[in-house]
Structure 1
Amino acid sequence: MEKLPASTGWSWVKQGFALFRKQPGGMSMLFLGYMFCMLAVSIIPLLGQLLPVILVPVFSVAFVQGCLHIDQGKRVLPSLLLSGFRKPVFPVLFALGVLYIIMAIVAIGASSLVDGGALWQLLTGQLNKETAEDVIRNSNMGASLLLTIALYVPAAMAFCFAAPLIYWKKVSLGKSLFFSFFAVWRSLSAFLVFGASWFAISMVTSQLLFLIAGRGMGVQLMMPLSMILTVVMHCSFYAAYRQIFGLPVDESKKVSLEKPEE
């Protein structure tokens, strides 16, 4: 893993848009299928609030696998949503999702040491509109946010490429987190540009949408715009993975090559 210049972050963004333009319909249908699955999972009693978050790594491999199909000139089909549910990677991807929830709880829970639990109550919906302003005003919300970010960012670096590493490289959960963290760390300037670019794109496109379409129509158009930008962002992450770890191996070709002749 070589250290990459900061400008590489913007290059990943452009490559993400280029990938999406090749099969916008296929990638959009993949995302719609993902949203439908998440909606279906969310109605499960008791686990409905946790499962959508736990299954994010499982479903995320569908999008990078879709990008690989685009690279190989194949069609992106909704059946790719099942990619992360195959053995032997599913248990590891599921464990990754569980670990992500634990990490988020620890990061947000640690803020209670600073603000007395105000941030936790805000994010978990325990505060109504009448009491939220007073609680935020009387708590040390700024310091608690900084503490949460300080704990969350290193964990996010470890989770960044963990799912595709598990899926394509067949590495263990621990190794995937290790390699992902140091891949991001070695090219941190590129990822800072990457994150800043996506923040700017999101802000500029939303403001332009409201300016051109007006407030009422702009709110209605935000949903499809957000969907497209989310899919392109997944394509950009694939571009980053491809440059850092190399072009993924096509598992179907790998199996056919390894199959002994009869």
Structure 2
Amino acid sequence: MHAHILGYSHGWRWITEGFALWRRAPALTSYVSFAYVLLLLLASSLPYLGQFLAALLMPILSIGVLEGMAAAEGGRRPGPEVLFAGFRGPWRSLAALGAFQLAGNLLAVLATILVDGGLMLGLYRGTIDPASLESEPQLLWPLLVWLAIALPVTMAYWFAPALVAWHRQPWPKALFFSFYATLRNWRALLVYALGIAAVVFALVLALSFLAALIHPYVLGIALFLLPLVLVPTLFAGLYLQVRDVFGPR
């Protein structure tokens, strides 16, 4: 499995080209993005096994999002069933990726107990009020422990669904190749993450300025509309990352 190594400039290109892909097919890219989020929220809201079910569905449904983005790029207009394209492929291997990510994230949270006695776990579960904390530095070490485990898990998962569904890799190899690819492309991915943060900050700042000049309601309306563009652009950026790092499907 060959992974291209890309430079810093690709990180910004994934943002601009992702926005251009949304503009090319706003209905399709928005549908697959928000339907994906909505289905995961509905699954996670189920009692008892909701979080586990959502974790298993996440990589399967993500293939539908990538298929939708590929169709938008190719000028095709698939039906609503495109979101469930992952179920027509190796869905068991995709579900295994979801179980791996869930287990890794749970391990990251549980590991923080070793350094904070359950403080971060309480914040995660909502049993501890953040306002009750006397000082923020006490969260530094548990955050570092969490990051030391959660970051490699995220790197291993990042490209893995596409590698399983589009490049027919067994799920353990997909995790390995995804980790390798994200590690080698840290420059572009770092610029992408920082670029997204900078764009959001600049937009909120500009909208706040306009709201101060015109009317406070302008900010509320704009902050409601902003995710309608930002979320599909983020998913389009993920598709472009898969395409540029591993080549076309």
Calculate the TM-score normalised by the size of structure 2. 0.89
Q: CA deviation at 1:96?
A: 1.0
Q: How does 1:1-262 map to 2 (within 5 A)?
A: 1-87=3-89, 89-128=90-129, 132-135=130-133, 137=135, 140-213=138-211, 215-248=216-249
> 8 Å contact 1:66–1:80 — kept in the other structure?
yes
Gaps of 5+ in 1: 249-262
Residues 238, 169 of structure 1: alpha-carbon distance in 2 compared, 3 angstrom cutoff: same
Give the Cα–Cα distance (whole angstroms) in 2 for the partners of residues 104 and 21 of structure 1.
34
Tell me by how many angstroms 1:157 deviates: 1.1
| Counterparts of 1:233 and 1:34, CA distance in 2 | 13
In structure 2, runs of 5+ residues without a counterpart are none
Q: Helix, strand or coil for the counterpart of 2:209?
A: helix
Deviations 1:197-231 (CA, angstroms, capped at 9, x unpaired): 11111222233333324555534543432242121
- Alpha-carbon distance in 2 for matches of 1:98, 1:18: 34
Describe the shift of the 1:41–1:195 C-alpha distance in structure 2 as closer, same or farther (beyond 3 A).
same
Q: What CA distance in whole angstroms lies between the structure 2 residues aligned with 1:134 and 1:43?
A: 27
In 2: Cα distance, 1:195 partner to 1:76 partner: 30
Distance 1:144 1:202, change over 3 A: same
Distance in 2 between the 1:37 and 1:106 partners? 25
Contact 1:111–1:144 (Cα < 8 Å) also in 2: yes
SS in 2 for 1:140: helix
Q: What per-residue deviation string (whole Å, max 9, x for no partner) do you get for residues 149-203 of structure 1?
A: 1221121111110111111012111111111111111121111111111111122
State the AA in 2 paired with 1:85: F
* 8 Å CA contact retained: 2:43, 2:50: yes
Q: Offset at 1:33?
A: 2.5
Question: In 1, are the aligned partners of 2:33 and 2:235 still within 8 Å (CA)?
Answer: no
* 2-structure distance, mates of 1:149, 1:39: 24
Judging changes above 3 Å, is the alpha-carbon distance between structure 1 residues 50 and 2 closer, same or farther for their aligned structure 2 residues? closer
Q: Distance in 2 between matches of 1:78 and 1:203?
A: 33
Task: Indicate how the Cα distance of structure 1 residues 37 and 10 shifts in structure 2: closer, same or farther if over 3 A, else same.
Answer: same
**Cα distance change, pair 80–151 in 1 and its aligned pair in 2 (3 A):** same
Helix, strand or coil for the counterpart of 2:128? Answer: coil
CA-atom RMSD, angstroms? 2.1
Per mean C-alpha deviation after superposition, the further-off stretch among 197-206 and 231-240 is 197-206
Contact 2:63/2:85 (<8 A) preserved: yes
Alpha-carbon distance, 1:142 to partner: 1.1
